[in-house]
Amino acid sequence: MLRIRDIDWYYINLASRPDRDNHAREQFQRYNIRARRFEGFTPEEWPGDSTKVDRMRKRTPGAVGCYQSQMHIIRLAQGGDRVVAVCEDDVVLCNDLEKRLDYIDSNLVWDWDIFYLGATFHVPGVWCHHKDCATWGSIGVDAEPTTDPRILRTYGIWGTYAYLVNPKNAAKVCTLFDEHIHQSDGIDHLAIRLGSRLNTFCFIPGCAWQYDSESNIGNGITRFSSFKKLGPYAWTDRMEEFNPLGFDWNP
């Protein structure tokens, strides 16, 4: 039986960023998690046909290495019997992570491909109006409720800094991503484009966040703190700080 609590944790880190390596280690040590460091690929290390990532490279070159790194870890999940966690090295974990994982383990009853530990989606939804909408189906929302108030079915979540992969469906995820990579600005953008074809869920409030720091993917400082304007569902240190049943999901 697949258990959410049986997780193989990985975090992606470039050799040039020991500061982020130290940060990630500190985060996982808080919970005695033996996370494995995966040395991230650089854009120059992309194998094979470079035209597949032309769109990604033109927009943000660092996204090529990020995509390759995350896909490598997802492939490790194929054929296994343990959930795999893919994290970026600037991840910030909530103070009651174990409690939330226990909750997810007990209440996630749907067939799932990816389960996001972050909750970066818009209310009301915006990706349903994206210019690429016609190519992947009109959803109408970025996330929708399930029968559990803390678990949402997601379509337009854009944070791939911390998520779980179902080993039973990892091959499906890899196939879809590989088939559509040429249409993508980055792995987070591709996950949104495939929102109607992937079974993705998240926990609210978000279990993971990112700290503001210099990014090797984008240019300059990534100010993730600005995304707190999304709403309290995006992140709280403790789950009791956000009540999904008392939140106005239709502002």
For residue 135, what is the domain's CATH number?
3.90.550
Would you state the pLDDT for residue 142? 87
Q: By the 8 A CB rule, do 96 and 239 touch?
A: yes
* Residue-level pLDDT at 183: 87
Residue 2 lies in a domain: no
Residue 103 CA to residue 97 CA, distance in Å, equals 10
Total of domains in the chain = 1
Contacts of 83 (CB under 8 A, 6+ apart): 2, 3, 4, 6, 7, 8, 77, 164, 165, 166, 167
Q: Identify the three-state secondary structure at position 213.
A: strand
The pLDDT value recorded for residue 106 is 96
User: Is 85 a domain residue?
Assistant: yes
pLDDT of residue 137: 39
Residue 214 lies in a domain: yes
Q: Residue 158: give the domain boundaries.
A: 7-246
pLDDT at position 61: 86
Bridge partners for 222 per DSSP: 213
Question: 3-state class of 114 per DSSP?
Answer: strand
Q: Which phi and psi angles does 189 have, rounded to 5°? A: -65, -40
> What does each of the 251 residues of the chain score in pLDDT, given as a tens digit?
788 889 999 999 999 999 999 999 999 999 999 999 999 999 888 887 889 999 988 888 888 999 999 999 999 999 999 999 999 999 999 999 999 999 999 999 999 999 999 999 988 777 664 444 444 334 457 888 999 999 999 988 888 999 999 999 999 999 999 999 998 889 988 998 888 889 999 999 999 999 886 666 555 556 778 888 899 999 999 999 999 999 988 76
Helices (H), 145-244: 170-180, 187-193
Task: Please state, in angstroms and rounded to a whole number, the distance separating the CA atoms of residues 38 and 14.
Answer: 8
CA distance 127 to 132: 9
CA angle 24, 26, 29 (to 5 degrees): 110
CB contact set of 130 (below 8 Å; sequence gap of 6+): 192
Is 1 a member of any domain? no
Q: What is the pLDDT of residue 138?
A: 41
Provide the pLDDT for residue 136: 39
Q: What is the pLDDT of residue 251?
A: 66
- Examine residue 251 and state whether it is found in any structural domain, yes or no: no
- The verdict on residue 67 lying in a domain is yes
Q: Which of 238, 235, 212, 239 is nearest to 223 (CA)?
A: 212
Residue 164 inside a domain? The answer is yes
Residue 240 is predicted with a pLDDT of 96
User: Is 153 inside a domain boundary?
Assistant: yes
